[in-house]
Amino acid sequence: MNLLLDVGNTRLKWGLHDGQGWRGQGALLLSALDGFADVLAGLGPIESMLGANVAGVTVGGRVGAMLAARGLPCGWIRPQGEGFGVRNTYLDPSRLGADRWAALVGARAVHGAAALVVTSGTATTADVLDGDGVFQGGVILPGLDLMRLSLARDTAQLPYADGRFADTPRRTADAIVSGCLHAQVGAIERMFRQVAGQEGALCLLNGGAAAALAPHLECPLRVVDNLVLEGLLRMVRLP
């Protein structure tokens, strides 16, 4: 069994793959990271582990200690200039986030044509991957919940809104939720224009806010559960 880990800003996502298919996937909040030891205890024999960590060395060290307790080495990926069907044209390829690199590799594995690779979590990233597998660059913006939180935190009278989307909102909570959704969707659709003319181009959408964003996007779209795990699986198969 291969254990694959996506350690993000808020959650740890895990997947267990037996070489033929996923045997299990799950997630837990980093605020409850100690519970990962119980997850590991229930997974059975594990042959290898590979992960992408953007949560920092402290979190990585805690995860590594739990793995070491089971006799497993901790393997974290580093972005590279080229590999697994993707060429990374970042000015300094090593500065690309490990999660973005893994998501690009995952996108190439599940869709062999041009794509806008969107991960909608604590932050939203939208990365342009052309039909030849060349990562052309991308944008990072606050995620949907972070936008709402910033309005509640940094304004005097706006709440952390639990509203609903409306074309012409008539109450403050709806205005905030609708505005944040418009901002996310607008950025994604503008970025998609860069690949829209290429054959088979899709927006590949994943992340915690995917279900909220997908109904509002007006571009060719496919929702994928976790592109980072898909990319890590590709890296395990093609070392």
The C-alpha atoms of residue 52 and residue 99 are separated, in whole angstroms, by 6
3-state secondary structure 11-62: EEEEEEECCCCEEEEEEEEHHHHHHHHHHHHCCCCCCEEEEEECCCHHHHHH
C-alpha–C-alpha distance, residues 111 and 143, integer Å: 24
Which residues have CB under 8 Å from 13's CB, separation 6+? 5, 6, 7, 25, 26, 27, 226, 228, 229
Known catalytic residue: 99? Answer: yes
Q: How far is CA 162 from CA 4, 74, 207, 238, in A?
A: 34, 40, 20, 44
Q: In the 8-state DSSP scheme, what is residue 177?
A: H
Q: What is the dihedral of CA 153, 119, 56, 40, to 10 degrees?
A: 110
The C-alpha atoms of residue 220 and residue 111 are separated, in whole angstroms, by 13
Q: Which of 6, 38, 99, 127 is catalytic?
A: 99
The tokens of 204 are what? 């590949």
For residues 58, 63, 68, 72, the Cα torsion angle rounded to the nearest 10 degrees is: -130
Give the H or E element holding residue 203.
Answer: strand 202-206
Tell me how far apart the alpha carbons of residues 34 and 93 are, in angstroms, rounded to a whole number: 33
**Active centre residues (catalytic):** 99
